[in-house]
């Protein structure tokens, strides 16, 4: 069994970046699902996921990116 090298103990920045991206994408998908449910309840419009995504992106994606540190 070999000892750990210093680089083995340091976080992999690429993994951190990927994990951050995946976390933001998951949060964005959650917001789109919430938006879809809200539109159905408040407006009576039954949107497909894709329709809800298009509307949500047009209305909220810029603010979401800014609030979640996306570049």
What residue segments make up the domains of the chain, in order of their start?
Answer: 15-66
pLDDT confidence of residue 27 = 92
pLDDT confidence of residue 8 = 53
* Residues of the chain scoring pLDDT < 70: 1-16, 70-71
CB neighbour burial string for 21-58, b if at least 16 within 10 angstroms, e if fewer: eeeeeeebeebbeebbeebeeeeeeebeeeebbebbee
pLDDT confidence of residue 7 = 52
pLDDT confidence of residue 1 = 46
Put simply, whether the predicted model's pTM sits higher than 0.75 gets the answer no
């Amino acid at each position: 069994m070999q000892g750990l090298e210093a680089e083995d103990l340091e976080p992999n920045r690429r993994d951190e970046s990927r994990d951050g991206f995946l976390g933001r994408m998951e949060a964005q998908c959650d917001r789109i699902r919430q938006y879809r449910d809200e539109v159905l309840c408040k407006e009576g419009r039954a949107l497909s996921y894709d329709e809800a995504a298009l509307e949500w992106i047009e209305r909220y994606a810029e603010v979401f990116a800014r609030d979640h540190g996306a570049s």
